[in-house]
Structure 1
Amino acid sequence: MSKSLFAAALLCTALGTAAVAEIETFATFDAGTPPGNLAIGPDGRMFMSVHEFYGHDLRVVEVLPDGSTTPYPNADWANKPDEDGPGLNGVLGLRADRDGILWMLDGQGAGQTGRIIGWNTRTEKLHRIYYLGQPATRETSFLNDLAVDREHGAIYITDTANAETTALIVLDLETGRARRVLEASAFTVPEDTEMVIDGNVVTLGGAPAKIGANPITIDPTNTWVYFAPMTASAMYRVRTTDLLDTSLSDADLAARVERYGDKPISDGSTVDAAGNVYITSITDDAVGVTQADGSYKILYQQDNMSWPDGFAMGVDGYVYVTINELHRSPVLNGGADATKGEFSIMRFPALGTAVSGR
C-alpha cells in the first residue's frame, strides 16, 4: 500500500484517537529555499513564500510538478527590490483565489509601507496593489497571514505585532479602505505560555516567544473566518458579515466572536468544507485538526516535521503543509542557524472536501 493510501485508510479508521503516522513528502528544498507559506490556484499551480527569517533575498517561488522551483512572478518581482523598482520586501502569507489571483502579503522592510500585491496567474500580469498604512497598521506591525474573501470582496489579515497591539486588519477590495479590529482583544493576544521545542524554550528578541494573531483561514462558503493567536489554546471564529459591518464597535464585534475549539501552540491553519480546521502543532512536530465539536486531535506526528508552518488545500483532495525548522532559524535561535536540512512540503488526504482557489 502506498503512503498516501495508507494515510487515507488510517484517517478513516482512527479519528477517535491520535494518529501517529508517516505522511507523504511532496517536495524537499535546500537551505537556499526555506519554505514559508503555500498557495494553490484553481488550476493546481503551487506557489510558496521563502521564509525571510533565513535572510535570503528571494521572496516567492512557484513549485513545479517535479518539486523544483522557479522565482515568481518573475526574477524582478520575486526578489528584494532596488529602491522604487519591482520586488517584494518580505512575504509570509500568500493565497490564490478562485479567479487565479495570487495575493501576496508584503509586510516587512525597514521604512516600508505594508502592501497586498495581487498577481494574475492566468495572464501573468500585475492585477492590483493595496497599501496598508497607519492607522490600519502600527509602528509595531508584523503583517503575517491573510484570508481572501472574493464573495464579499475583502481580505482579512493577521497583524502579529506585539502582545499590546496584535490585531486583525480588514481590507475592502473595492474601496481600498483598511480597518484595524480586535486590537489587544482576548482573541488576538498571546497566552502566557512558553513555547518549548526539543526541550528548549524558543526565544524572540531575547525573551520567551509569546506570539499573537497569526493563523487565519476562511471556510469555502466565505461565511466564517477562523483565527487565533499563535501562542494560545483556542481557535476562534467570526462571521465575515460581522467583520465587514463598519457600524459595529470593537466591543460589539468582540461580542460576536466565538470560541470554535481547542488547539495547540500553532502557526498555520486551513479549513475544509466539513468544518475541520487543520492546525500545525509546532511544539509537537505534528499536524492536527480542530473538529466541529470543538475537540482537537493529532493526525500526523513524526521527527522530520520540525515546525510545520503553512497549509494549502489542493484541487486533488490533499492538504499540503510546509516544514521549515523555524525554531532553528537565526531569528528564533539567538542569531545562529542550527537547521538540519528538513525543509519540505508534505501532503495528506483531507478529511472533508478540500477546496482551493477560494
Structure 2
Amino acid sequence: MTIHRRHLIGSGLFALAAGAASPARARSEEERTASPSRPVGGLELAHLADAPSTPTGLAISRGGRVFVMMPRFTAKVPFTVGEVMPDGSVRPYPDAESNRPDAKRPQASLFHVPNGVFDRDDTLWLLDAALPEGKGAPVPGGAKLVQIDLATNRIVRVVPLEAGIGPTSSLNDLRVGRLNGRPVAYITDQGQDGKGAILAVDLANGLVLRRLAEHASTKTQTGVVKFVEQRPVMQTQGDGPPQSPKGGANGIALSPNGARLYYAPLMARHLYAVGTAALLDPAASDAMVAATVEDLGEKGMTGGLTTDSKDRVYLSLQEQNAVGRRDPDGRIEVIAADPRLVWADTFWITPERWLYISAAQVNRRPEFNAGQDLSKPPYAILRMRIDADPVDGV
C-alpha cells in the first residue's frame, strides 16, 4: 500500500495530486504548493439542467441524449426521471404517466429513481428504490429495474427486486454488465439506518441475491463528518441535536473485465472491492463472498464512482468540489476541481473520452439546513477530457 493513502483528509488531497517534491524542487515549488486552492485541472460546463429537484443520477447515450434521475425526496417532486433538452429544460421520461407514483400499479410507475445506466446495447436501465417521499418502507412490489428502449421511448422489461430488499432499504446506485457472457446487474443499498448491502442480479433469469448485509464494508463509518462548501453536513430530526446523516454502500463501479466490483459507503473514507463471481453464485455463502472483499484504503469522502478501460477508479470528492482518480497501484491524485461542482455525484464516460460529472447540491437540501431549501437550480453538469475509454457494458 502506498504512502499516499495516509494523506487523504481535507486539503491534503490537493497536496497528494502534486506528488512528493524532491529537495531540489521544494524551494521553487514552495509558493505553488502552499495554497490548498492551487489549480489541479479544469472542468468545463456541459449542461445546465433546470431540473425540478436534486439530480443525483446522470446517464448519457451514445447518441448524446442526456438523462437525469431525481430521487423523490418529497411528494412535491413532479417526476423522478427526466431528459435534458438542448435548452436546459428537463422533461419527464419516458413520459409523465410513468413518473406518476401509484401504489396500486407498483411495477408500472416510477417512485424514487436515484440512478440509471446504459448497457452495451445502449438501452437505458433505471433503478427504482420505491421509497415513498425518500424514506420509510419501500412500496410493496415497487423496487425494480426498468429497461427502456431509446428508439421507441418505451419500457420493455421490468425486473422485480423485492427479494433483495428490506423495510429499511434505500437502493442507490446501479451498474449493468456481463459475467461469463450473461447479463448481470449490481446495486448498492445504502440503508436508511446506515446498514447497507449489495444486490447482485442475474438478468438472464431475474435471480436477486442480497450480499454483504451487516458487513463492515457496506456500513456507515461511525464518528465521521462530511464537509461540503466549508460546512458540516448535519441532519436534524425533531428536537434532537444535529447528527451526521447515515449512508452505507453507495457508489459502485466495475473493473474492465467485470471480475471486481468497487464500492464505498456514502459516510466512510475507504474504498472496497469484491469478486463478482462470488456475488452472483447462489451456492456461495455470505462468508465466502466476504472472503473476496478487499479494503483498498482511504480515498476521501465520495458519492459516485466510475472506472475507465485502464481500471482506474474515479472519485467524486465531495469535500473538495473535485474529481480524484485512483490508479491500480493505489496511487490517488486529484485531476480537477471546480467551485461549481457542489456535491460531486454521478460520473459518465462517453466513447469520445469525455468524463461527465453532476453537481447534485444534496448538501443544500432542507433536511441539512434546518428546513430551508438552499438549492440553486439550474444544476451544473461538468466535463473534462480523459485518456481512456469507458468500461464496456457500463
TM range (shorter): 0.7 to 0.9
1:231 maps to which of 264, 267, 271? 267
Q: CA deviation at 1:126?
A: 1.7
Tell me the distance in 1 between the aligned counterparts of 2:334 and 2:115: 24
SS at match of 1:331: helix
Residue 203 of structure 1: SS of its match in structure 2?
coil
The CA deviation at 1:141 is: 0.3
1:187 to 211, 217, 226: 217
Q: Secondary structure at the match of 1:187?
A: helix
1:196 aligns with 2:227: yes
1:223 shift after superposition: 2.3
% of aligned pairs identical?
Answer: 31
Which residue is equivalent to 1:73? 94
Task: State the Cα distance separating 1:77 from its structure 2 match.
Answer: 1.7
> In the aligned structure 2, how far is the partner of 1:152 from the partner of 1:19?
44
Give the residue type in structure 2 aligned to 1:40. Answer: I
Q: Match of 1:5?
A: none
Deviation sequence 1:22-44 (CA, Å, 0-9, x none): 31100113362542211123433
- 1:138 maps to which of 166, 169, 176: 166
- The 1-side partners of 2:18 and 2:85 are apart by 36
Q: Secondary structure at the match of 1:208?
A: coil
Distance in 1 (alpha carbons) for counterparts of 2:104 and 2:193: 32
TM-fit CA distance, 1:131 = 1.5
Report the equivalent of 1:177: 207
- Number of the residue aligned with 1:290: 326
Gaps of 5+ in 2: 1-15, 20-37, 133-138, 238-242
Q: Is the 8 A contact 2:99 2:111 kept in 1?
A: no
Does the Cα contact within 8 Å between 1:323 and 1:345 map onto a contact in 2?
yes
AA aligned to 1:143 is L
**TM-score normalised according to structure 2 size:** 0.80
Contact 1:41/1:357 (<8 A) preserved: no
2:276 is aligned to 240
Contact 2:261 2:273 in 1 (8 A): yes
Could you tell me whether the CA contact under 8 Å between 1:101 and 1:127 is conserved in 2? Answer: no
The answer (yes or no) to whether the contact 1:104–1:116 under 8 Å persists in 2 is yes
Higher-strand-fraction structure: 1
User: Do the aligned residues in 2 keep the contact of 1:276 with 1:289 (CA within 8 Å)?
Assistant: yes
Does 1:47 find its partner at 2:67? yes
Deviation at 1:274, TM superposition (A): 0.6
Match of 1:96 among 102, 105, 118: 118
Q: Is the 8 A contact 2:185 2:203 kept in 1?
A: yes
Q: 1:109 aligns with which of 123, 126, 131?
A: 131
Relative to the length of structure 1, the TM-score reads 0.88
- The answer on 1:128 being equivalent to 2:148 is no
Q: Where does residue 352 of structure 1 map in the other structure? A: 388
CA contact 2:248–2:265 (8 Å) conserved in 1: yes
Alignment counterpart, residue 56 of structure 1, candidates 68, 77, 95: 77
Partner residue, 1:26: 46
For structure 1, the residue ranges without an aligned partner over 5 or more in a row are 1-13
Larger displacement relative to structure 2 (330-339 or 182-191): 330-339
- Amino acid of the residue matched to residue 168 of structure 1? I
- Tell which structure's C-alpha radius of gyration is larger: 2
CA distance in 1, matches of 2:359, 2:152: 31
Letter in 2 for 1:96: F
Change beyond 3 A, Cα 1:333–1:302: same
CA contact (8 A) 1:92 1:105 kept: yes
Q: 1:211 to 1:99 in 2, by over 3 A?
A: same
Q: How many residues align?
A: 344
